[in-house]
A and B are shown apart, each in its own frame.
Chain A
Amino acid sequence: MAENREFMNRRLHSLLGVIPIGIFLIQHLTVNYFATRGAESFNAAAHFMESLPYRIFLEVFVIYLPILFHAIYGLYIVFQGKSNTKRFGHFRNRMFLLQRITGVFLIIFIAWHVWETRVQAAMGAEVNYDMMADILSSNFMLVFYIVGVLSATFHFSNGLWSFLVSWGITVTPRSQQIATYATVVLFIALSIVGMGALLAFINPDLANI
């Protein structure tokens, strides 16, 4: 086993991106989406997540450790590649580059996002609708969050496509093509959910509901 370290790391990297990180992303965006029903609904949903039993263990093993491994090993993968989309401009090669660009951007975005919400919460701030409304009241932060959420939904959808290939699930070109369509649909759907939530935080009509 030890001699196949790289193989194991790569497969683990691919698996962790979907389970648990991908699942967590969907769950996170779903909780956010409660904001479209008003501040009170969102606060109730966020409070429910906050009050889960043994939360710190869930956070460490389902979120922090997998994301840390995925980010650090992912960065290592980025530095091993030399993108050549200028010479080979077809779809999959562009996705290869975009996957790396969004991955690196997500390290910055997630680091900032965790600092601004989870670390602040640990230091006594309350995570609620007002906190997000306050953050997103700045146009710069709004754009930063929009790009961040779209990067996350793209990186997950395209990563799911690669996961299916890396684990030998989609082998034939036809199955890979259909997986492309399916992950495009997933990307659009998750992006609508993500954007809906972000726009709900800057909607003054929803702040008082």
Chain B
Amino acid sequence: MSEQKKVRLIITRQEGPENNSYVEEFELEHRPNMNIISALMEIRRNPVNAEGKETTPVIWDMNCLEEVCGACSMVINGKPRQSCTALVDQLEQPIRLEPMKTFPVVRDLMVDRSRMFDSLKRVKAWIPIDGTYDLGPGPRMAENKRQWAYELSKCMTCGVCLEACPNVNDNSDFIGPAPLSQVRLFNSHPTGEMNKAERLETIMGDGGLANCGNSQNCVQSCPKGIPLTTSIAALNRDTALQSFKNFFGSDKM
């Protein structure tokens, strides 16, 4: 029998949010159809590094395991992506795993993506339908528009586009591509449209839409293929019109 194939992992680790990061190497037995999650599970089962020394298990975040929740995002061989769909056989070895450092690192590969959820609240990324009485059915949405909007709704707040964006970092308070695209999604909904101006005003504020530098990294790296730069350009048009309305117009909306 031929010698067992090995998988080499170089993982950037960090004890906690305040600690310095360090690199630790691991060597695992190769199994067919392995993905990064199953490799990390193997380390968790037997936390021994490549030098044969016992170590703490590597911490990471995961949930759905089918690339719809966005929790397991990390930087794999330099590219931010989901670790559940990163197949070991398709990756160049040694495989380098790093946390998405655009976000605060909780521990090892686990990051805190709270800022994205705060952004969604900030731009009111929902359809307000609650009232003290039955508001009745809203206006209908055309089927072709629904199909188009579905593509934008695939966003899973995974944080890959923020990690890829050169303008999202600690020198800038740019909100990032994902919540901007959600503004376009909810502004195009017949009921959501009723709060269109409010959402546009929000992204015209500090750290908003105007911070985009058009590097287009977001659209290149989005795992769901969301047309993020098209959303941004469309919002550029909407906010330009909104600013003209605000300045020259008299009707408030």
A residues engaging B (CB < 8 A)? 1, 3-11, 77, 79-84, 86-88, 90, 92-93, 95-96, 161-162, 165-173, 176
Given the interface pairs A11-B210, A81-B172, A93-B216, the reply to whether A88 lies near B164 with Cβ below 8 Å is yes
**Do B166 and A84 have beta carbons less than 8 Å apart?**
yes
Which residue of chain B has its CB nearest to the CB of A88? B217
Stretch from B108-116, B141-149, B237-245 forming part of the interface with A:
B237-245
Least CB distance, A162 to chain B, in whole angstroms: 5
Which residue of chain B has its CB nearest to the CB of A96? B215
**Do B221 and A88 have beta carbons less than 8 Å apart?**
yes
Q: What interface size band does chain B fall in?
A: 35 or more
CA distance A84 to B78 in the complex (A): 11
Known contacts A90-B220, A166-B236, then 12 further A-B pairs from the complex at CB < 8 Å, ordered by chain A residue: A81-B166, A81-B213, A88-B215, A92-B214, A93-B166, A161-B214, A165-B229, A167-B237, A168-B236, A168-B241, A169-B237, A171-B230
* Chain A residues with CB below 8 A from B240, complex form: 11, 167-168
28 contacts between A and B (CB under 8 A): A1-B247, A4-B243, A6-B205, A6-B211, A7-B208, A8-B243, A10-B211, A11-B240, A80-B172, A81-B213, A82-B166, A87-B79, A88-B217, A90-B216, A90-B217, A90-B220, A93-B215, A95-B215, A96-B166, A96-B213, A96-B215, A166-B210, A166-B212, A168-B235, A168-B236, A168-B239, A171-B234, A171-B237
CA distance A80 to B166 in the complex (A): 9
**Do B211 and A176 have beta carbons less than 8 Å apart?**
no
**Do B213 and A77 have beta carbons less than 8 Å apart?**
yes
| Partner pick for A168 among B214, B227, B237, B247, CB 8 A cutoff | B237
* Chain B residues with CB below 8 A from A83, complex form: 166
Which residue of chain B has its CB nearest to the CB of A166? B236
Given the interface pairs A80-B167, A81-B166, the reply to whether A6 lies near B210 with Cβ below 8 Å is yes
* Chain A residues with CB below 8 A from B213, complex form: 77, 81, 96
CA distance A10 to B212 in the complex (A): 10
| Partner pick for B208 among A6, A96, A165, A166, CB 8 A cutoff | A6
B169 interface contact, C-beta 8 A:
yes
- Once A and B bind, how many residue pairs between them come within 8 Å at the CB atom? 113
**Do B230 and A172 have beta carbons less than 8 Å apart?**
yes
**Do A167 and B236 have beta carbons less than 8 Å apart?**
yes
Which residue of chain A has its CB nearest to the CB of B172? A80
**Do A170 and B233 have beta carbons less than 8 Å apart?**
yes
Which residue of chain A has its CB nearest to the CB of B174? A80
CA distance A75 to B241 in the complex (A): 28
CA distance A79 to B211 in the complex (A): 12
Least CB distance, A137 to chain B, in whole angstroms: 40
CA distance A92 to B243 in the complex (A): 28
* Chain B residues with CB below 8 A from A162, complex form: 214
Least CB distance, B200 to chain A, in whole angstroms: 10
Could you tell me which residues of chain B, from 189 to 243, have a CB within 8 Å of some CB in chain A?
201, 204-217, 220-221, 227, 229-230, 232-241, 243
**Do B220 and A88 have beta carbons less than 8 Å apart?**
yes
Least CB distance, B174 to chain A, in whole angstroms: 8
**Do A173 and B230 have beta carbons less than 8 Å apart?**
yes
* Chain A residues with CB below 8 A from B234, complex form: 168, 171
B171 interface contact, C-beta 8 A:
yes
Which residue of chain A has its CB nearest to the CB of B220? A90
* Chain A residues with CB below 8 A from B206, complex form: 5-6
Could you tell me which residues of chain B, from 160 to 186, have a CB within 8 Å of some CB in chain A?
164, 166-167, 169, 171-172, 174
Given the interface pairs A82-B169, A84-B164, the reply to whether A4 lies near B204 with Cβ below 8 Å is yes
Least CB distance, A159 to chain B, in whole angstroms: 10
**Do B238 and A168 have beta carbons less than 8 Å apart?**
yes
B19 interface contact, C-beta 8 A:
no
Which residue of chain B has its CB nearest to the CB of A167? B240
| Partner pick for B246 among A1, A11, A88, CB 8 A cutoff | A1
CA distance A86 to B164 in the complex (A): 11
**Do A4 and B205 have beta carbons less than 8 Å apart?**
yes
| Partner pick for B204 among A7, A167, A171, CB 8 A cutoff | A7
Least CB distance, A112 to chain B, in whole angstroms: 27
* Chain A residues with CB below 8 A from B78, complex form: 86-87
